[in-house]
Structure 1
Amino acid sequence: MIAKAPITMPQVSVLMPFKNTSAYLQECLSSIAEQNFDAWELIAVDDHSSDTSLAILTEWAARDSRIRVYPNRGSGIIPALRTAYAQSCGRLITRMDSDDRMAQGRLLEMASRLEASGSGHIALGLVAYFSDRGISDGYARYERWLNNLTLQGSNFKEIYKECVIPSPCWMVHRRDLDACGAFEPERYPEDYDLCFRFYAKGLTCLPSSSLLHHWRDYDERTSRTSEHYAQNYFLNLKLDYFLKLDRDTSRPLVLWGAGYKGKHLARQLVDKGIHFHWLCDNPKKIGKKIYGRALSHFEVLKEMKAPQSLVTVANEVSQEEIRRFLAVGCQIPEKDAFFFC
């Protein structure tokens, strides 16, 4: 038998919106109930389910007073998170997805590390995707990349590449979540937006080598079906936070790449009236104008004084070539060059 942590540990509020996940809820709820940590409450918010999800949660709540179920005050995950947070009372806050599984020991490890470290920190854990049909190469790469960052606690180092905080596997002090604006901003993708707000407030990621969350992938996942998680939403979010948090307007701004991402960011910069230099290595595009901006060969970077680069080139081999080229000019990734993919 696994020893359980004393109930005197700080109470943890687990926020869990749910919608039509009846096929996975029993497994999800069992993984929470079997934690070796008793001082938790689960605030489950029904986002207008049309299956038996609400009945399942209601039945669990009748057996365990730590589980409370509420209707969503609005529609969608952001209003559901606001509803859950308003009903929570724990000093430590974490999220859970209703189709996933917590690893045994997750709540104890995260709460213990946050208690030892104090406010100003984010507790994280390694994640593992699972699926009945197997995991795609893209998700496998994302899992490896994300876990490598978490092992070092260096998650914010590559924040402009992808979301560096796994949405269902973080824990923070309530005071820090409040300082970051909690779930008030109406901006999607909401997990990435919150990640940027953690970064802006200077929170420190606590490294972890423990697998703490099992992340389910399937066709009906919200991140696969909702327009709020389309690529343009991510690109707009990255650009807005870069301009707010890391842009030095005294330095030339350089955009690398003229594929979909490069063109999308170029369009945004043009619309915002922001001057930039547009670089690529495609002979068919060099010298041509797109959105009224001419593309130049990347060698012109050598003529610029202390430029800031936004790199949208997705090919990993090309990215390494760009990193080597930038290194010659003593440009440091995540300081002088920001990789957007």
Structure 2
Amino acid sequence: MAAPKITVTMPCYNCGDTVGGALESLLAQTCADFEVVAVDDGSTDDTAGVLAEYARRDSRIRTFSIEHGGVIAAANAGIEAARGRYVARMDADDEALPERLAAQSKLLDEHPETGLVGCRVRFGGCRETCAGYAHYVDWTNTLLTHEAVSLNRFVEFPVPNPSIMFRRECLDEHGPYRDGDFPEDYELLLRWLEAGVKMEKVDAELLVWNDPPTRLSRNHPRYDVSAFYRIKTEYLARWLAANNPHHPVVHILGSGRTTRKRADLLLDHGIEFAAYYDVDPRKIGHVVNGVRVRDRNDVPEPGAGFCIPYVASRGAREDIAEFLSDRGYVTGRDCIPAA
């Protein structure tokens, strides 16, 4: 049998209630030149039976079971079995909209310099009870170009993992998911960006990203806040070493407890702080770990120092970006946002 153009890899664990819907959404794609490699990660429910039934119905669905080893083992097993020129990822509780595979593969066809593509995604949870996650999805949907993805990589995870499609060569050159005490999807993205992989998004909603209570990012310690900041800081420190003309010295915008807790992780990587900057007059003049808190208006002129706005809250982040832009700062040259 000829190899398909696209392989969709789908790790599956105890998802008997949802995986049928995910597979139905793939079978309804306008692009027919694909296969699905669904890996049953030692499920204890009826996942294996559901997968077997779909494999009997359609030869494009290939499925096999492995001993339960977690999502990374299952994801990499699917990747290893993939035969497609392009490899897509999808979770067993999400829904691919009909044009997903056609639109993403078209972008890769037309832009050989691009290694990985995403898309805008539709939030599938409750916006009232899961407002933070919904706002995060909205934010990712504003990042469509490689420049936007690259320059915002240290704020949050800019390309939702279930939405990606990439060239097989990226795997050969930069490796699959790695196992460790960090979110494997974020680490892969940071590693590939660091290696120079160009990433773009299709400017269309092509995936419904559901947010069930069982989602791993809600329950597994690999995805807790501290794990995100550890891996983010490691890659940010290396980015600064390569791009900060004043390395290892930086200026930190923000001086609250959360900012200091996150920014101070850089100190373990040899980064030095010239000052903290804040808008709160009650903080200005204080000394934190030997570093003075200064008025925000005292930040150095562009070219005289490198700034990192360490602000996570919505509104404040946009305010600082506008402040630096008005002073002539260019993101990536004079500053890089983090959170």
Matched, 1:270 2:267: yes
Match of 2:332, SS state, is coil
Distance 1:86 1:140, change over 3 A: same
- Whether the 8 Å contact between 1:104 and 1:212 is mirrored in structure 2 is yes
Q: Partner of 2:252 in structure 1? A: 255
Deviations 1:204-256 (A, max 9, x none): 33442322111111222111111221122222222211211244263431222
Q: Partner of 1:188 in structure 2? A: 182
Offset, 1:260: 4.8
Q: Partner of 1:282 in structure 2? A: 280
Deviations 1:70-115 (A, max 9, x none): 3346622222212111111211111000000010121122223312
Which one of 90, 100, 105 corresponds to residue 99 of structure 2? Answer: 105
Deviations 1:276-313 (A, max 9, x none): 13333334444444455443333442379632222122
List aligned pairs for 1:1-341, cutoff 5 A. Answer: 11-72=5-66, 75-118=69-112, 120-131=114-125, 136-150=130-144, 154-184=148-178, 186=180, 188-247=182-241, 248=244, 250-251=246-247, 252-276=249-273, 277-291=275-289, 293-302=291-300, 306-341=304-339
Moved more, 190-199 or 280-289: 280-289
Distance 1:153 1:61, change over 3 A: farther
TM-score, normalising length: structure 2: 0.87
In the alignment, the residues of structure 2 paired with residue 210 and residue 9 of structure 1 have an alpha-carbon distance, to the nearest angstrom, of: 28
Offset, 1:133: 7.6
Runs (5+) with no aligned partner, structure 1: 1-6
The residue type paired with residue 115 of structure 1 is D
In the alignment, the residues of structure 1 paired with residue 13 and residue 39 of structure 2 have an alpha-carbon distance, to the nearest angstrom, of: 9
Of all paired residues, the percent bearing the same amino acid is 28
Offset, 1:265: 2.6
- Whether the 8 Å contact between 1:135 and 1:217 is mirrored in structure 2 is no
Match of 2:104, SS state, is helix
In the alignment, the residues of structure 2 paired with residue 205 and residue 245 of structure 1 have an alpha-carbon distance, to the nearest angstrom, of: 17
The residue type paired with residue 228 of structure 2 is F
Offset, 1:37: 2.4
In the alignment, the residues of structure 1 paired with residue 108 and residue 169 of structure 2 have an alpha-carbon distance, to the nearest angstrom, of: 12
In the alignment, the residues of structure 2 paired with residue 63 and residue 13 of structure 1 have an alpha-carbon distance, to the nearest angstrom, of: 18
**Coordinate RMSD, CA, aligned:** 2.8
Match of 1:188, SS state, is coil
- Whether the 8 Å contact between 1:158 and 1:339 is mirrored in structure 2 is yes
- Whether the 8 Å contact between 1:96 and 1:169 is mirrored in structure 2 is yes
The residue type paired with residue 297 of structure 1 is D
Match of 2:203, SS state, is coil
In the alignment, the residues of structure 2 paired with residue 90 and residue 293 of structure 1 have an alpha-carbon distance, to the nearest angstrom, of: 53
Distance 1:74 1:294, change over 3 A: farther
Deviations 1:3-53 (A, max 9, x none): xxxx98952111111112222111111111222222222111223322222
- Whether the 8 Å contact between 1:13 and 1:42 is mirrored in structure 2 is yes
The residue type paired with residue 142 of structure 1 is Y
In the alignment, the residues of structure 1 paired with residue 52 and residue 298 of structure 2 have an alpha-carbon distance, to the nearest angstrom, of: 64
Distance 1:133 1:294, change over 3 A: closer
Moved more, 33-42 or 314-323: 314-323
Runs (5+) with no aligned partner, structure 2: none
In the alignment, the residues of structure 1 paired with residue 266 and residue 126 of structure 2 have an alpha-carbon distance, to the nearest angstrom, of: 42
